[in-house]
Amino acid sequence: MEEQVGQIWDRLITRIAQQGYPDAAVTLDQIKAPLGVFFRALGGDSALRVTATTATLHKARRNWLQRVAGSGRKVELAWQDETCLYLPAQLDVFPDAQLNRDLYFWLAAMAGARVPAETHRNQNWIVDNQQRTLYTLRQFRGLHQRYLSLVRAYSALRPQPEKLKPDAAAQERAIQQALTDPGSVGALPEARFAPDPVPLWLHPDPPRSAGLSNTADGQDRSASKGETRQAQQRRRQAERVEKPEDQGFTLGVRHEADLFSFGEFCKMDRGTDEEDDLDQAEDIANDIDKMSVAQDNTTVASRIKFDLDLPSEQEDDIPLSEGMLYPEWDFKKAQLLPDQCRVIPMLSRNAVDCELPEHLQKPARRLRRQFESLSARPQWIRGQYEGDKLDLDAYLDYRGAISSGGSAHAGDPRLYYQKRPLVRDMACLLLADLSLSTDAWVNDNHQVIDVIRDSVHLFAESLHASGDQFAIHGFSSRRREHVRFNCIKDFNENYNAKVRGRIADISPGFYTRMGAAIRHATDLLGKQSAEKKLLLLLTDGKPNDLDRYEGRYGVEDTRKAILEARNQGLIPFCITIDEEANQYLPYLFGHQGYTFIRQAEQLPKRLPQLYMTLTGKLFGG
């Protein structure tokens, strides 16, 4: 009974102490798409993705209700780093939903404004935000009225200086003056407490990771598929520490300091999900101000690294050469680093000649009939002096020119259609991502690698029937010195049972150093003499590898490799089943340069259809 009363009291006092206007709340999920377009249109870094921030502690004074409820200790403020623009998951600052929506766009504009580095170097946070506000208003004059509306509405919600103690009142007047007249406040007066956070400004001291690697993100990517809640995407502040000694369950002396030290270390086994209450675990994680992460000798991560060691020479695929060296783009230095990656062409050691799997026989027959018609399909050519049928539009234009007073020679007498065989001078290279993430399950019946294997089978059957030149390769990597390039079918190789055996032997492994693989594929495809050259990339996730090839670095290098391919006259196009693809693929390939297959099991059927659509556009079909 006491526990129930306590829970009711906790909910009641928390609701009473809550600040904001929940009925007028706007969430980041609701406006994420237009907000991203707005941010990039105003000059924001197109490589940054928009995501939810994390709540951080502030040092402002809390009212007595908040102290009783134990709430109001944290606040969500906007900030950005080299990978993301972080915005509050929800804004309910104003009683008007439109104002909350406008606040999202104002924060995105502030983050996207190009502020000279010298204007905020070595300045305090209030001067920095004022300068950024001034530059934002100068660059985007259309935001002036929106900003004034936000300031007027927000000033009415701020504490009234006359009701505060002298030192706090001086601070509050300075804050309100800085909002209404940006650039007029040079410093914040000292006071016992910090001022209330200002949601119209960027974070004064944003959280930073303390030397943590994102490698685990790539290893655990398959575990996060399907997560759509904004709370699951929040950034968390962390630090790397040594693993504490096992303290057991006995406390010799129950001093308060010892209790806090004991309670702050929580062993979180990332290798299992067998906790009794996962929602409670997530709530605890949200309440932790900074996570201290230590390496445990029994973690799954260690076993994964062991499993990813290269197989013995007798078990591994056959290397066809010592490999080719390729550069890699360092976006921080804005230069290509020469000879950074070694791409090693490899041939399957265990592939056995085979026929097409039984479950693919029927769809393959249908696709072969469709693609055989591509090479034999005729095309109607307009504007001919003689031909198979009259072009009515051209004839009417011709008669109109004569009736308007011109001579019979005034109009263009090319009035006929002529049917000619369609010439398809086409070369396509399919590059399949064979990294470890393809070992994940699509549903209870199929793995991603099964779907890719079936897709490549039907793709090969289709292109063989069309007569187009094509090659198929796969790739994975283990750091920059070992980028594996699996040769499944070369351009000069016939499609036969041997190639089908190599497709059947496709297996997942290692990581995704995408830039190096694309550069090698570009070299192979660029050597073909075809009129149109299509580079198809089939993937299920972002670029990543064990070394620093992760996050922004991997994305920027991949984008550079794609631009290099375009400059050589190739047409890169990406087919993905990654649910987060819209966060980075528009930056890599452009909005028209990729497609997302929502149901991964549909990929085998969709891939040949996409090829037919793409090549139809290229040849005017």
Residue 194, in any domain of the structure: no
**By the 8 A CB rule, do 561 and 514 touch?**
yes
5-28: average pLDDT: 74
Residue 313, in any domain of the structure: no
Res 375: pLDDT: 61
CA atoms within 13 A on the CB side of 522: 22
Res 437: pLDDT: 86
Between CA 122 and CA 107 the distance in angstroms is 22
Two tokens, residue 560: 């550079």
Q: Is 486 exposed, middle or buried (0-12, 13-18, 19+ CB in 10 A)?
A: buried
Q: Are residues 220 and 342 in the same domain?
A: no
State which of 288, 307, 326 marks the end of a domain.
307
Res 325: pLDDT: 96
Q: Nearest-CA neighbor of 90 among 170, 26, 183, 12? A: 26
pLDDT reading at 223 higher than 50 = no
As separate numbers, helices (DSSP H) first and strands (DSSP E) second, the chain gives 20, 21
Q: 29 or 230: whose pLDDT is higher?
A: 29
pLDDT reading at 305 higher than 60 = no
**By the 8 A CB rule, do 467 and 422 touch?**
no
**By the 8 A CB rule, do 39 and 85 touch?**
yes
Residue 190, in any domain of the structure: no
pLDDT reading at 247 higher than 50 = no
Res 66: pLDDT: 63
Q: Taking the alpha carbons of 370, 431, 560, 222 in that order, is the dihedral positive or negative? A: positive
Res 248: pLDDT: 45
Mean pLDDT in the chain?
A: 79
> Which residues, in sequence order, are CB contacts of 496 under 8 Å at separation 6+?
353
pLDDT reading at 458 higher than 90 = yes
- Percentage of residues in the chain with pLDDT exceeding 90? 37
Instruction: Kindly report, residue by residue over 489-519, the tens digit of the pLDDT.
Output: 999 999 999 999 999 999 998 899 999 999 9
Residue 203, in any domain of the structure: no
Q: 130 or 274: whose pLDDT is higher?
A: 130
Lowest mean pLDDT among 161-175, 264-278, 482-496: 264-278
Q: Are residues 272 and 400 in the same domain?
A: no
Q: Are residues 481 and 551 in the same domain?
A: yes
- Percentage of residues in the chain with pLDDT exceeding 70? 73
pLDDT reading at 263 higher than 60 = no
Give the chain's domain count: 4
Helical H segments across 95-124, by residue range = 97-112, 117-120
Q: Are residues 340 and 237 in the same domain?
A: no
Q: What is the CA radius of gyration of the chain?
A: 31
5-12: average pLDDT: 68
Backbone angles phi, psi at 540, to 5 degrees: -125, 10
pLDDT reading at 211 higher than 50 = no
Residue 325, in any domain of the structure: yes
State which of 129, 158, 180 marks the end of a domain.
180
Residue 246, in any domain of the structure: no
Q: Are residues 296 and 395 in the same domain?
A: no
Residue 358, in any domain of the structure: yes
Range ranked top by mean pLDDT from 168-177, 251-260, 291-300, 420-429: 168-177
Q: Are residues 82 and 159 in the same domain?
A: yes
Res 595: pLDDT: 93
Confidence class of residue 94 from pLDDT cuts 50, 70 and 90? very high
Residue 209, in any domain of the structure: no
Confidence class of residue 557 from pLDDT cuts 50, 70 and 90? very high
The CATH number given to whatever domain includes residue 332 is 3.40.50.410
Q: Are residues 7 and 34 in the same domain?
A: yes
Range ranked top by mean pLDDT from 174-178, 317-321, 325-329, 616-620: 325-329
Res 114: pLDDT: 76
Res 298: pLDDT: 42
How far is Cα of residue 95 from the mean position of the Cα atoms in its chain? 33
Q: Are residues 236 and 336 in the same domain?
A: no
Q: Are residues 232 and 113 in the same domain?
A: no
Res 262: pLDDT: 39
How far is Cα of residue 259 from the mean position of the Cα atoms in its chain? 42
Q: Are residues 558 and 507 in the same domain?
A: yes
Res 362: pLDDT: 94
Confidence class of residue 242 from pLDDT cuts 50, 70 and 90? low
454-476: average pLDDT: 94
Between CA 387 and CA 544 the distance in angstroms is 57
Between CA 472 and CA 34 the distance in angstroms is 38
59-64: average pLDDT: 67
Q: Are residues 348 and 470 in the same domain?
A: yes
Confidence class of residue 147 from pLDDT cuts 50, 70 and 90? very high
Instruction: Kindly report, residue by residue over 168-207, the tens digit of the pLDDT.
Output: 889 889 999 999 999 898 888 888 887 888 889 988 888 7
State which of 360, 386, 421 marks the end of a domain.
421
Q: Are residues 327 and 394 in the same domain?
A: no
pTM for the structure as a whole: 0.67
Confidence class of residue 293 from pLDDT cuts 50, 70 and 90? low
Domain that holds residue 385: 378-421
Q: 240 or 490: whose pLDDT is higher?
A: 490
Res 51: pLDDT: 87
587-608: average pLDDT: 90
Between CA 320 and CA 347 the distance in angstroms is 7
